[in-house]
Amino acid sequence: MALTLDELSDRMQRFVERQGWYAPGSSRPQSLRNLAISLSIEAAELLEHVQWEERPRDQDGWREELADVMLYLMQLARLSGVSLEAAVLDKLEKNAGREWE
């Protein structure tokens, strides 16, 4: 079943709400700052999979880390009012007009 980025973001949002992570006093407050830190940590965890190898040996772990990165990115976009679909399309169009050396 293929979903759009906005549909995936909606599913992620419902999950976070069910966990109570947006509630005041949450042990995992989902602020832009905390989510940006979490995104950075998850991106760094990708590096562990290729630290001494050109390709990850643990494909399941690699897949899970990629999903974690995307989930934090979607949540950051949602909380800051950014449509990732529109932002990516805009960036692709901008990059198409650039010269790459």
- Decide if 69 is inside a domain: yes
- Decide if 9 is inside a domain: yes
> Which domain range does residue 17 map to?
5-96
Q: CB–CB of 83/6 below 8 Å?
A: yes
The pLDDT tens digits for 32-72 are 999 999 999 999 999 999 999 999 999 999 999 999 999 99
Q: Using alpha carbons, list the distances in angstroms from residue 20 to 1, 17, 23, 35.
A: 27, 5, 5, 15
- Decide if 101 is inside a domain: no
pLDDT band at 6 (very low <50, low <70, confident <90, very high): confident
Residue 92 is predicted with a pLDDT of 96
Quote the CA–CA distance of 29 and 92 in Å, as a whole number. 32
- Decide if 65 is inside a domain: yes
20 contact partners, CB below 8 Å, separation of at least 6:
26
Residue 101 has pLDDT above 90, yes or no: no
CATH of residue 53: 1.10.287.1080
Total number of domains in the chain: 1
Residue 100 is predicted with a pLDDT of 81
